[in-house]
Structures are given as C-alpha cells and as structure tokens.
Structure 1
Amino acid sequence: MGYLRNLLNAATGQKPQASTTYDLSNMSTEQIREFLRIGGGGMETASGAHVSESSAMRVAAAWRSVNIISGVMGSLPIDLIRREAEDRRVPAVNHPLRRVLTVKPNQWQTPNEFRRMMQAHLLLRGNAYALKVMAADRVLALIPLHPDRVGVEQLDDYSIEYKVSLKGGQYLRLQQKDVFHLRGMSLDGIKGLSVLSHMRESLGIALQAERTSARLMQNGQFVGGVLSHPGKLSAEAHSRLKASIDEKHAGADNAGKNLLLEEGMAFAPVSMTATDMQFLQQRDFQRYDIAMFFGVPPHMLGATEKTTSWGSGIEQQGIGFVTYTLNDWIKIWEEACKRDLIPEREWDTHDVRMFTQGLMRGDARARWEAHVKGLQWGVISPDEVRALEDMNPRPDGLGGVYYDPPNTAGGEPEGDGDEPKETSSAPGV
C-alpha cells in the first residue's frame, strides 16, 4: 500500500504524507475516486475541477440545496395509515412497520436522521438503498447502504438484483425483496439518474471560482489603484517599493492599507474592472444554476437579486417549492414504502403518508386561519384542531361538535354563497 501511495504521489507531484494511511479494501468507489484524483466515472470537468460527493458539498449553494430538501423530508410527519372503509382512515397502531417509520429505523439512527441521509443520497446519486431486516414478511429494521457500494441489474425474469460491496472486499447479492430502493428520475426504470454527475460542469465552475477567490485572497494585492512616476524610478526605490508591496500589502489581512511612496510618485485609485464584475456575475449565476438542478427557489440560497426579497413574491415561490419539488419527493417516498415495506396482502388496506401540514408549523397565523376555516365549514371539530396542535380534548366534552357552515345555519345565505360569512369570533376551541 505504501508503494502504491508513493507512486501516486510521484505521478501527481505531491509530497508523501507519512501521517495519512489508506485502506483501499474498505473504500467506496467515491472514496477511491477522490483518493486517486483521476475523475473516474466521468467526474472530471471541462473547467479542470474534480467533482465528487465531498467536493460538491463544499459549494455553498449545493450544500444548502441538499440540506433544505433533506431537512424538510426528514422532518415531515410520516405515518402508516390503515383504511377501515373507503371514507375512514386511522393510524395503523401496533403495526411493526409503523415503529420502524416513526420511532426506530435501526439501532443507531432516529427516523429524522435516516430519512435525511436517504434523501441526501437520492438527491446526489439518484438512488438510496437500505437493507431490510425481516421477520417473515414484516420489516423490523432498515440498514442504510451507500449507493456507491450498490450495483443494480435487471435479470431475464425482470426481477432486480443488487450487488453490494462489503467493507472487507466481498460482494453480497440481494434480491429485490431484500432491499428498500428509492429511485429518482430514471431513463431505464432500473436505476435513478445521478444529479451529481449531470451537474458536474456547474459544480466544477463553482469549485474553480471558489479556488480562484481563495488564491486571490492569499496572493492578491488590494491597493485598488495605479502608481505613476514623473520620470524614471531608481533601482533602490523600486526594490523598496516591491518589498513593501509583497510584505505589507499582499493578502486579505492587508487590504486597504496605504502605500508609502517616494520620488514624487502618485497613486490613482481605480474602480472595479469589467473582468472583476464578470467574475462576480459568474459566481452569482452559479447559484441560480445549481438551484435549478435541485428545484430550490433561489431566495432560499440567499439569491434575491432577481426577485423581491419579501411579501407575496417569496410566498408564491415557497408554495411552488412545495408543489413542484417536495411533492415529487414525497410521492417517491410514499410509493416506494408501499412497494418495498408493506406486505402485498396489505396493499389494499395500508398506505404510508407524509403530511405537508407540518410545513405550516412555523407560520402560526396561516395555520390558525386554516383551522378557523375548517371549523366554520364543519370540516373539523375543536378536538381535532386541538389534536393537531398537540393539545388535549376540551375538558367540557363539547370538543367533538361539528359546526354548521355560517351560510347555511338559520336562514338564507348572504352574497353569492361561495365564501363563508366572516364572524366576529371563531368557534370555540
């Protein structure tokens, strides 16, 4: 192993690091690619940057996009629902899968941690896998598998086989019934497309821009002007000026310091050049480009230059985020859970549901306005509202009453009847 490492260091011109050790037998494909730095799997970009999972997450816009979507998918309320009749649905209490989904997916992760990690794999790799721990046809636990260690193949009978690379170098072949598979957009229906590989050029430009900025901060001079001399600068003055600039005015820590000039030299400040402006615009464009790949509104990444930063514009973008981005991921989770985790004999009576009402937890005004509308129209009862707010039923026992809609109670409806008449106070909760 030491010989291989020294050979790679010699080929790349890097100095050997005696304190670092590597175990290729326990590395995933992604880790080996990062170690070799050869951009395997088409991950070397035209900009010269090598894009990997770890380097991609060093781009602020990519990190924030993955963190936002994964965080929302991890925190949304989820439950296993049993249909007792076409119009009656109740939580499937005491079902073993409900405990896996809502309490303990495995020995070391919470449901939030498990779903966040699986969603991050799904966003970056297009696939997320977990090994099912079974007792008969019941799922008792879900063991996550890194997508770089899993190969997918469709057999002649159209079943799917998974080949998992273990840490010791061995391979484990799993049947479709043994794996929980979340699949993103796919062109073959077998394996999801890797977002990371398709957006590698955008990420490569962003990584190179970050590197350029870092080099500028390290080596650039921030005098912001031009020096002029009325005649010819003497060799001694030139040497002193050069030493002063290199030692006292280079780098970010010395930005803004004044120069000490001699022999009648003059300093003329200059504004930002067109090249500087183009560089900044390029970095700003990359945020919008990366946000487009993930379907995240730019304002969530701090990009508000091309849109209003408050009011109904932001509100509509937030609604669009739920409608066009989150709903897609929610459907993928719900349908994959039903296909892979619920026994086929229970498909007609059980469903996994994720509830977007949880997204309103931070907006108390909108949440309570929705409650009041539901109470006024007799859709929900006070006790049901209290349950949604994690409160106990009314102590007087009257919380199960469904109120008559205001435009039908005690007379003819006023107006066109499309909206309930506003009342001075909401029904008692």
Structure 2
Amino acid sequence: MKNWINKFAIKIANATNTPSAPISQITRGSELFSIFSGSNAGGTVAVNERVAMCVSAVIGCVNLIGGAISSMPLHFYERTNSGRQRYSPDIWWLLNERAFNNWPASALWVYVVLSKLLHGDAFVQIHRASRFSSVITGFEPIHPLNVDVRKINGRLSYTLWKNADDGSVYVEVVDQDDMLHVSGPGFNGLRGISQIKHGLQNAAGIAYAADQFAGQFFNNGARPDFAIEMPGNPTTEQQEMMRSTWMERFQGFGNSHKPALLAGGVKIHEITMNAEDSQLLATRSFQVEEICRIFGVPPHMIGHTEKATSWGTGIEQMSIGFVKFTLQPHLVAFEQEINSKVFRTPKNFCEFQTAGLERGDIKARYEGYRIAIGRAGEPGWMTVNEVRNLENQLPRDGGDSLYQPNQTSNLSAA
C-alpha cells in the first residue's frame, strides 16, 4: 500500500511541476500535502474548494461577483474613422447565450469567475471548426486543478485532464492561442496566486471552524461541555452507565429543554466557556468582513449590515462603487484576453455593458437625459433616439438629430 501511494505521489508531482517525494515527506505544509488534503489554515482545518464554498461569506461573494458579470451583455465593436460601430459576430451567441454544448453562457461566466476568485486562474478552451480553422465553435471552461501550464519554446502549453463519456480520463494538450487564460494577482507568467492557498487560508479556515463549533454547540442542546461529579468512588461500570444514560436522555437539540434529575449527591460542573464568553459571535462577524476584504466586496452587499458603507448612500452610489472598484478589474482582464485570442487585431474588440448596474433611480436618470438632449437654451449632446435606445424603446421619426437652441422644435419634449 505504501509503495502504491509513493508511486501515486510521484505521478501527481510530475503532473503539477512539484518535486517528487516519498510518502514520509508528505508533511503538513508541503505542496503534496496541500494536493491531498487542501491547504492548512493556520492549524484550524485544511482549506480546499469544498471547504471554502461551505462558508456563507465566501459563497456570497463568489455568487455576487459571478452573478453580476454573468448578467452583463458582452457587446462587440469595430473601430471606424469616426469612432466605433457596434456589430454582432457569430461568437456573440456563444458568449451571450450558449457557450458550449450544455454550457449556457451565464453558467460559463459564473464558473470562470469562481475559478479566478478561488484558484487564481480561469481557463476556457477555445474550440474551432478544425485544427487549422479560425472559426470558433465553442468555449469550454476547464477546472484549474485539471490544467498544467508550461512554457515551451517561448509559448505556453496547457495540458488538460478531461473526463470521457465512458468515465475514463484522457489528456489533451492545447496551445496558448486556443486557451483563454485569465489570471488574478501574482501572475508569474504561468499561474496566478491561489486565494485558497493564501488569502483564504486563515480567513475561510477560521470561519469554517467557527461554523462547525456553532453547529456542535447547538447539536448539544446549546449546552457547554461539563463534568458530572459523583459522590464516593464509583466503579468504571457505574461511570459508563451514568455517561451513557445522560447522553441518551439529555443530549441533542430535541432534548435541550428536558429537566435533568440529579440524585445521590450528583453535581454538574461547567468546564468550558459558553458561546458569548468565547466571543464566537464576534469571531464569526469579523471573519465575514475579512473574507469580504479579500474579494473586494462591501459586506452589506452580501447581507452583513452591521457597518455602513463608505461609498456613499443610495442604491446608485453603491452600484457604481461596486462596478468601479470590484467588477471592473475582472471585466478588463476578460476583455483583454478575448480581444487577444479571438480577434488578434486592434480593429475589433469587445466590452461588457455595465450601464445596467450603474443606472440611478428613475428621477435622476430622466433628469440626466433632459440635460443630455438639451434644455434651457443649452445644446444637446445626445439625440432622442439614443436616449430611447438606452431605455430599450423603439426609435421615432425625427429623433436622430441633435437639438440646437435655434431650432424651432424642441425634441427634448418628445
């Protein structure tokens, strides 16, 4: 058995660029230890993707960022002499509706955002009509743990481990031109820094441990640990009988309010602190803020409302701040990678449409439209039809000209 584990560890080490080592050297804190059990969170629990996603603050931040990006339309533009012109290439359908086989575009974006936030890298394989064709037929997301990145002759090569329909595993090697690779902080030319191994190592580990402790505390009927004092010198059999009888009758949430009957001089002594004394609630609250700080998410946006936001008041300012400081870095990274691998020319490019999240309340929005169209003798810089397009309204006749103060008809009243 030990020899088999040694061979398996060497295979994993070769596949992940980790130096091979015998089983005796797979110790806490080593690379191979993190592969087998997840990163060690400061002596609390081993943090991996499953553990991290069991923490409500982590899944709240990931869902918020992933959901926001997946709800944004991705538009495509062509640069012209007068600026830019929007158009709809064939890949519009892939990146906005159906990315690959049974992958909706929304699921693709949520998946790659989760990969980038937790593992530091997001990988999407570009499928083409043929090996030598430039026609793209699909975008397939790949889990970061199933990708090995190496540099060969100055180019990145991606080794992918995939599951076949019959359940077997096969290996596929992909060139950098056929892989969207979006990295987070700490990119070294091959991979970014994994948040699970670094940022979330302690934060998520402590939060998970606190959740586990809270669950065990309430599973025990919200009672702290205690010792039962029996008079005299009871035998081992009597001690076991008292212990098993107590656990059968009084342990568990359903038995938490049953009165305990003590006779014969039996006494109960509390030997641990209760939840309030051990600062359990304060710890759990602080860990929410710590995790939000890692992901750049205001705590109030995932339901943690103990402290007010510093981004101003109102839905408008909150949304604008969230787009600028949290979403924009992710959006720019995705846009640049798509522009580089899909178009390979500065003439065409794509942009996420963030206007929906940045829109203010209806009164402020309409007041801005009045200023843009032109009012009080001021010339307009937007046409009526441009405004109607922003509100998803059909264009109207005569609404494509800019308002000038000397015009007899005021289009702003349209």
If the TM-score is normalised by the length of the shorter chain, which range does it land in? 0.7 to 0.9
For residue 295 of structure 1, what is the aligned residue in structure 2?
296
What is the CA RMSD across the aligned residues, in angstroms?
4.2
Deviation at 1:97, TM superposition (A): 2.5
C-alpha distance after superposition, 1:310-346 (max 9, x if no partner): 971776454332211111011001111101111x2xx
SS of 1:170's partner is strand
Query: 1:308/1:203 Cα in 2 relative to 1: closer, same or farther (>3 Å)?
Result: closer
**1:103–1:221 CA distance, 2 compared to 1 (3 A):** closer
The normalised TM-score by structure 1 is 0.73
Q: Partner of 2:137 in structure 1? A: 140
In structure 2, C-alpha distance between the alignment counterparts of 1:325 and 1:197, rounded to whole Å: 21
Which letter does structure 2 place at the counterpart of 1:427? S
What SS is found at the alignment partner of 2:136?
Answer: strand
Query: C-alpha deviations, 1:335-383, integer Å up to 9, x for none?
Result: 11101111x2xx2311111111021468444443443332236232222
Equivalent residue for 1:392, pick from 377, 384, 394: 394
Residue 123 of structure 2 corresponds to: 129
Equivalent in 352, 355, 363 of residue 353 of structure 2: 355
62-71 or 99-108, which deviates more: 99-108
CA distance in 2, matches of 1:129, 1:357: 27
One-letter amino acid of the structure 2 residue matched with residue 386 of structure 1: R
Query: Aligned partners of 2:56 and 2:252: how far apart in 1?
Result: 23
Distance 1:315-1:47 versus aligned 2 partners, 3 A rule: farther
**For the structure 1 residues 366 and 47, does the alpha-carbon distance in structure 2 shift closer, same or farther, using more than 3 Å as the test?**
farther
Distance 1:103 1:275, change over 3 A: closer
Cα distance in 2 for residues equivalent to 1:113 and 1:300? 21
Aligned ranges 1:177-216 → 2 under 5 Å: 177-198=177-198, 199-216=200-217
> In the alignment, which of 65, 87, 91 is matched to residue 92 of structure 1?
87
Which blocks of at least 5 consecutive residues in structure 2 are unaligned?
A: 6-10, 17-31
Cα pair distance change 1:81/1:215, threshold 3 Å: same
For 1:194, what is the secondary structure of its paired residue? coil
Q: How many residue pairs end up in the alignment?
A: 371
1:58 positional shift? 0.7
Helix, strand or coil at the partner of 1:160: strand
Q: How does 1:95-110 map to 2 (within 5 A)?
A: 95-110=89-104
Partner in structure 2 of residue 428 of structure 1? 413
Paired AA for residue 152 in structure 2 = L
Please show how residues 131-170 of structure 1 align to structure 2 within 5 Å: 131-135=125-129, 136-156=133-153, 158-167=154-163, 168-170=168-170
Gaps of 5+ in 1: 9-23, 30-36, 411-424
**2:320 corresponds to:** 319
Residues 89-141 of structure 1: per-residue CA shift (max 9 Å, x gap): 22223x22223223332222222121111111111111111221224223221
Q: Could you say which residue in structure 1 is the equivalent of 2:332?
A: 331
* Number of the residue aligned with 2:175: 175
> Per-residue CA shift, 1:169-188, capped at 9, x if unaligned?
43222111121212222341
User: CA contact under 8 A between 2:157 and 2:173: conserved in structure 1?
Assistant: yes
After superposing the two structures, state which structure 1 stretch, 256-265 or 158-167, moved more: 256-265
Change (3 A) 1:242 1:111: closer
- Identical aligned pairs, as a percentage? 28
- Partner of residue 77, structure 1: 73
* The 10-residue stretch of structure 1 (133-142 or 326-335) with the greater mean CA deviation from structure 2: 133-142
Helix, strand or coil at the partner of 1:130: strand
Distance in structure 2 (CA, Å) of the matches to 1:370 and 1:224? 63
Per the alignment, residue 62 of structure 1 pairs with 58
Distance 2:316 2:252 in 1: 42
How far does residue 281 in structure 1 lie from its aligned partner after superposition?
0.8
Match of 1:33 in 2: none
SS at match of 1:79: strand
| Maintained 8 Å contact 2:161/2:172 | yes
User: Compared with structure 1, are the counterparts of its residues 39 and 427 closer, same or farther at alpha carbon in structure 2 (3 Å cutoff)?
Assistant: same
Q: CA deviation at 1:59?
A: 0.3
State how far apart, in whole Å, the 2-side matches of 1:212 and 1:183 are.
35
Letter of the 2:355 counterpart: Q
Residue pair 1:375, 1:382 contacting (<8 A) in 2 also = yes
CA distance in 2, matches of 1:197, 1:369: 49
Report the TM-score, using the length of structure 2 for normalisation: 0.75
* C-alpha distance in structure 2 between counterparts of 1:181 and 1:263, whole Å: 72
